[in-house]
Structure 1
Amino acid sequence: MLIYNSCKQRNVNEALKLYAVMNLNCYGADIFTRNTIVASLCRTGKVREAEKFMHHMNRIGPVPNCVTLDTVINGYGEVGNGLKAFSLFDEMIKMVKLHYIPCCVDVVVYNTLLAEACKSGNLQVAIILLDEMISNNVLPDRYTYANLLAGLCRKGKMVAAMLLFEKAMERSFSPNHVMYTCLIDGLFKAGQPKTAAYFFEEMLKKGINPDTVVLNVIIDGYSRIGCIEKVNNYFSTMKGGSLCPCLATYNILLRGYSKQQDIPRCFATYNTFIRKGFVPNELTCHSLIHGLCESSVLDIAVKILRNMVMEGTAVDKRTFDMLITKCSSNGEMGKAFDLLNTMNSLGILPDGDTYGSILKRHQQDI
């Protein structure tokens, strides 16, 4: 109980001291206690230490179980070390054969690795893992299909994604918010808005109420193809229901109105955004400045950017480059150099792209 409480309070060093005292007094900790320490080490980013502790368990017993192994594999996945996660999986397979640990390689372990493979874009490995799961009598679950579906959609393989979606339904896995959201997002990005709308309607017919994430995906999809009327309709649906627009929602709207050069709507959205207590981020700033640049109101764009900088809003290099390029192409070199100085004062380093537009204009003026 003391070890559990220490881990709960994220005091893993204290937990390890208590564990050492138990061992010195010949009180063997059970598998639950040891797994708690492993989980606490992973949660605090000490994944290597967690792996060492797992090997220590393997030496003195009790042998690590599927919870131990999955925790460490997931820990490596969380810190972005996919190679180590797969290496540990191979080690786990050998250990299963050596000690005959029943159900050691379970669906959770496979799902962790499959998610890591999909995240890194290695779909071939993900499909091999799916085949291996089935051959080892480990039944894929809803999370397996959701991870693989997300990977296929990210790669734009929409035919394969829809076939997998159907296969999941054939196996009596009712698609959830995550699966529908992945599919709808992938279809919009693949230029298939009608098919995306069909799956959204199907989702509603199945009694799955849309959440903020799926409505953001739809608003973003229609915004990208310039269907502003549909964007406004879905935004009204969101506000009219029990859902609250979030930072991402307003950034999507800003980007859409900006692309249409609808400056009054851009400012109305931005003012609503601020009034509701949201803090602008880099995307907010870029979307607003982009609309002003495209509408050729550079004086206002420069003024807005300066105000944002003074208020502590994050402004990225991409936004500075865009505004410097626009000022340079319009021959407003004073503004361009002022922006360059602001960049330097903020510690945002200019590069070839930043200087390129200034040099190009300089050559034209010679």
Structure 2
Amino acid sequence: MSIQKLLQAFNKTHFTNPTSIAHQAIASKIAKTLIKSGLKPFETTPLLLSNFNSDIANLVLSNSNLPPQSCLSFFKFLRRNPSPVAHKPDLQAHVILICRLYKAQKFAEMKNVLSYIATDVSLRCPVINLVSLIENETAEAKFVEKLCDMLFRVYADNRLFDEAMSVFDYMENSGMKIDERSCMVYLIALKRSDQMNMCFGFFQRMVKANVNITVYTMTIAIDGLCKTGDFKRARDLMVEMIGKGIKANVFTYNTLINGYIKRKDFVGVNEMLSLMESDQVAYNAATYTLLIEWYGRSGRIGEVERVFDEMRERGMEADVHRGLTQNVVTYTVMISGLSKEGRSDEAFRLYDEMIEAGLTPDNRVYTSLVGSLHTART
């Protein structure tokens, strides 16, 4: 049965007794008013809804003559201004509107309505109950799959992780296709909530459920493992996924390099650099920034200069604010490099930041700054 037939079936069930017939008459009158004049009459004359209730609200929203946008406007009006009788739209009203919005392909608004259900404890219910409100009347599997996928994202966005997993379980058990992009939304939400162990656990569920895995979801899982200090498992995961045809990219390697640098594991850093070379993965600005920090911490000024020069030759800029520890060596090399190019304003800006960071410049910094002024004039 199509969604349109579902809405028609809902209307037909309300002609079984005089009360339902009366409600249908009121709903029809409200719909005609909305079509002709919009919300203004109801905003200026609240008494027009004096006999209003949830049953009438559902009939209005399911009226096929009322455009979906008008349904949505009326629904939002009811949420903002519930009458003493009807209160806010009930769960059935939300479901009816979701059906209308899906048919009209207004997916962003459909997601918003699902958000109302997810965040309102009086409306929130197990996913199987929500789906049953639709599945009892329609066999449109594509719609149900879209609904579940969207609900999964909504729960993830609102960091309702248990509820999101219940939707994931339902979709897996029902044989529905699970979108990798939706899983990424869930992984990112876990990461932002500092739920690193859950990141890896969910990634394993994705693999088990045969969700399409990309390098991006793999990198998020690896980052979660690195943040919990489980570098061996992070590296093993990368190797395992490479064996399954998922090649690590520069972001994956940067994640591991950053983790190894923070724990001062130079063997691990060298291993990642060797793998990048063998896999022919080119460095990006973040890689160079990490290497400048690494060599700077080790006091290997020559290596810092080499990396800095190579980075500049490729037209990249190191970011001292992102991922780069503020230390004398890195500031000195960067100020020296900018000074040689006559970029005195940027060199002095870094000098000011160096002072603010409580670091003491050496003679090389002052010599470079003086030289930058001379280079800028010539």
Classify the TM-score, shorter chain. 0.5 to 0.7
Between structure 1 and structure 2, the one with the greater Rg is: 2
The runs of 5 or more residues in structure 1 that have no matched partner are: 1-16, 301-366
Partner of 2:68: 19
Compute the displacement of 1:118 (Å). 3.9
1:94-173 matches, cutoff 5 A: 94=170, 100=174, 102-173=175-246
CA spacing shift, 1:87–1:252, aligned 2, 3 Å? closer
Compute the displacement of 1:35 (Å). 1.9
The residue type paired with residue 21 of structure 1 is S
CA distance in 2, matches of 1:91, 1:284: 53
Partner of 1:208: 281
State the percentage of identical aligned residues.
Answer: 15
CA spacing shift, 1:134–1:287, aligned 2, 3 Å? same
CA distance in 2, matches of 1:260, 1:275: 12
Q: Is the 8 A contact 2:114 2:154 kept in 1?
A: yes
1:266-281 matches, cutoff 5 A: 268=339, 272=343, 274-275=345-346
What's the TM-score, normalizing by structure 2? Answer: 0.54
CA distance in 1, matches of 2:354, 2:323: 9
Partner of 1:255: 326
Q: Deviations over 1:22-45 (max 9, x none)?
A: 789x99454571324346x5xxxx
Partner of 2:163: 87
1:165-184 matches, cutoff 5 A: 165-184=238-257
CA spacing shift, 1:262–1:113, aligned 2, 3 Å? closer
Partner of 1:37: 109
Q: Is 1:288 aligned to residue 364 of structure 2? A: no
The residue type paired with residue 213 of structure 1 is A
CA distance in 2, matches of 1:70, 1:272: 52
CA spacing shift, 1:227–1:258, aligned 2, 3 Å? closer
1:341-356 matches, cutoff 5 A: none
What's the TM-score, normalizing by structure 1? Answer: 0.55
The runs of 5 or more residues in structure 2 that have no matched partner are: 1-65, 75-96, 125-129, 367-378
Partner of 1:232: 305
CA distance in 2, matches of 1:178, 1:203: 11
Root-mean-square deviation (CA), in Å? 4.7
1:328-347 matches, cutoff 5 A: none
Q: Is the 8 A contact 2:223 2:256 kept in 1?
A: yes
Q: Deviations over 1:240-277 (max 9, x none)?
A: 11x3205x2477779233688889759959x948449x
CA spacing shift, 1:260–1:170, aligned 2, 3 Å? same
3-state secondary structure, aligned to 2:357: helix
CA distance in 2, matches of 1:119, 1:234: 32
